Amino acid sequence: MGRNQPRRRPLVNELGGLVIVDKESGMTSHDVVARGRKLLRTKKVGHAGTLDPMATGVLVLGVERATKLLGQLILTTKSYTATIRLGQSTMTDDADGEVTATTSAARVTDEVIAAEIAKLTGDIQQVPATVSAIKIDGERAYARARAGEEVVLAARPVTVSRFDVLARRDEGDFVDLDVEVDCSSGTYIRALARDLGAALGVGGHLTALRRTRVGPFTLEHARTLEELATIADVLDPPPTDPTSDALPSAPATPEVDAAGPATFLDAGDPESAGSDARPIAPLVASATPEVDAAPRSTGTPESADSGPTAEAGGRAGASSPVAPAHAEPTPSLLSLDIDTAVSTAFPTRDITDVQATDLREGRWLDPIGIKGVYAAIDPTGRAIALLQESGKRAASVMLVRPKGMGD
């Protein structure tokens, strides 16, 4: 950005929310965060869980105040579609690694495959993939493996609640299996491919992986970075030279330090995922991004920000006396604002305005017998705090709306 150009304002308010990204292959989770910071015009972006560069699908980003939610999200279940190749093993248990052995799988029958898959379903002990994000004496296992060290990881308990074969394709000496897997956090789909191939005596590795769900967040709620970039340009068109008649070139985005003070949560493996909670209403088609149809009665929703709205293609803004009856809603970069995110991901407790004030001023409430972390919601539907009960107190573990924020 030029020295004489003003810094472009963030495209969400100070409370923010969650952005559910459909990650493309070849990007790390950190890459997605860095791109998100540029698109949202803020450094306050972090991610919950990670995805391998090869993998695609659901990645949860927290923005602005909602980055603090990421540490409270109990992301314990996840779902994947994947392709397993039988007949070949690799160093990394996926297609990115060097091939270490090849054995014909042409004679492996469906019945034998089903029997071995049954042994990998349920509560099992799994040795994580060698090239993983698990730390050994403070260093990632993948860093040690790439440095040539022999990495030995202990088996750990995981739960594979579903491991279904959708299709089989015979490719010469190889057998490709399209599968669906529901599992607990900490489960490696690469390791399932490796262990299935080993049990069949032919070796195996993962050739494709797509995460379809992290707890309550699914592909129905996700948008690609390209779709988000289009929305960002509607909310805040790139600056143009007023003396030039030429059409604007590619969107200009401010340079952002990719190592800024955002919250990064690494669940310990590149395939970590999320918690079961109430379902979310699906986003509308990507061409018309979801907008909160019933904004909270207090607070300033992102779509009400007068700056981006006033610039959004000449649509009626706050200064317009009358908006067209059929005007399209202002698009939003957020998949869920902070209130929707909190009420979706946590059990809720209705509180009074007086109790809301108490919490915002640092006091606690009387417990009512809810276990675990839950959300305190005021009479207008605003999330005030996340609470946890202990003894005679229901105390805040995160103040969603500090005093003076979002009023």
Alpha-carbon distance of 215 to 1, in angstroms, equals 39
Tell me which residue has tokens 């910071």.
Answer: 37
Alpha-carbon distance of 169 to 175, in angstroms, equals 6
Angle at 68 between CA 132 and CA 215, to 5 degrees: 55
Alpha-carbon distance of 362 to 89, in angstroms, equals 56
CB of 273 within 8 A of CB of 158? no
Alpha-carbon distance of 110 to 135, in angstroms, equals 37
Tokens of 92: 């990394």
Alpha-carbon distance of 163 to 241, in angstroms, equals 56
Phi, psi of 358 (to 5 degrees): -55, -45
Burial of 189 (0-12, 13-18, 19+ CB in 10 A): buried
Alpha-carbon distance of 265 to 211, in angstroms, equals 18
CB of 181 within 8 A of CB of 153? no
DSSP 377: E
Alpha-carbon distance of 398 to 72, in angstroms, equals 8
Tokens of 56: 């695609």
Q: Give how far Cα 284 sits from Cα of 215, 220, 288, Å.
A: 20, 8, 6
- The number of C-alpha atoms within 13 Å of 283 and in the hemisphere containing its C-beta is 28
> Catalytic one among 52, 269, 292, 339?
52
What three-state secondary structure class fits 315? Answer: coil
370 Cα distance to chain centroid: 27
Alpha-carbon distance of 167 to 164, in angstroms, equals 9
Alpha-carbon distance of 362 to 347, in angstroms, equals 21
Angle at 333 between CA 327 and CA 336, to 5 degrees: 100
**195 has catalytic annotation:** no
Q: Please identify every residue annotated as catalytic.
A: 52
